[in-house]
């Protein structure tokens, strides 16, 4: 079926449904149903796999809300981040305060 025709048909059926007064007289939905529908509609918009998997881009990644590739939340630091000019401790010479200056057997 032509997608445009399908869309037109959906609109037509919805309007026919509304003409019968079915939409206006419908009972208000429960809050649980509202939450469920809201979760289904909003879900794709606030889960960004690329925040934790920077090289993965979902199929229609450029739909709003849009983040440029490799976007990270403010103050995000890559793994093993250290403050500027931080150098890991050196282990030369090894720190051995109690005896045994040479390996055993020498």
* Least confident span in 26-40, 54-68, 75-89: 54-68
pLDDT at 12: 81
Whether 84 is covered by a domain: the verdict is: no
pLDDT: is 68 or 6 the higher one? Answer: 6
Looking at the chain, list the stretches that DSSP marks H as alpha helix, in order from N- to C-terminal side. 3-19, 31-46, 49-52
How many domains does the chain contain in total?
A: 1
| Mean pLDDT confidence for 50-54 | 58
pLDDT at 52: 59
Whether 3 is covered by a domain: the verdict is: no
Domain housing 58: 39-75
Whether 69 is covered by a domain: the verdict is: yes
Closest-CA residue to 61 (of 78, 47, 72): 47
**pTM score of the predicted model:** 0.21
Residue 66's CB is within 10 A of a number of other CB atoms, namely: 8
Whether 54 is covered by a domain: the verdict is: yes
Whether 43 is covered by a domain: the verdict is: yes
Whether 50 is covered by a domain: the verdict is: yes
Which range has the top average pLDDT, 10-24, 25-39, 67-81?
Answer: 10-24
């Amino acid at each position: 079926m032509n997608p445009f025709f399908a869309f037109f048909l959906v609109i037509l059926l919805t309007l026919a449904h509304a003409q019968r007064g079915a939409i206006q007289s419908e009972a208000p939905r429960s809050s649980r149903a509202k939450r469920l529908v809201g979760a289904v509609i909003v879900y794709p918009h606030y889960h960004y796999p690329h925040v934790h998997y920077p090289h993965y881009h979902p199929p229609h990644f450029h739909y709003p809300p849009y983040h440029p590739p490799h976007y990270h939340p403010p103050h995000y630091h890559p793994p093993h981040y250290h403050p500027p000019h931080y150098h890991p401790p050196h282990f030369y010479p090894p720190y051995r305060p109690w005896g045994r200056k040479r390996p055993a057997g020498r």
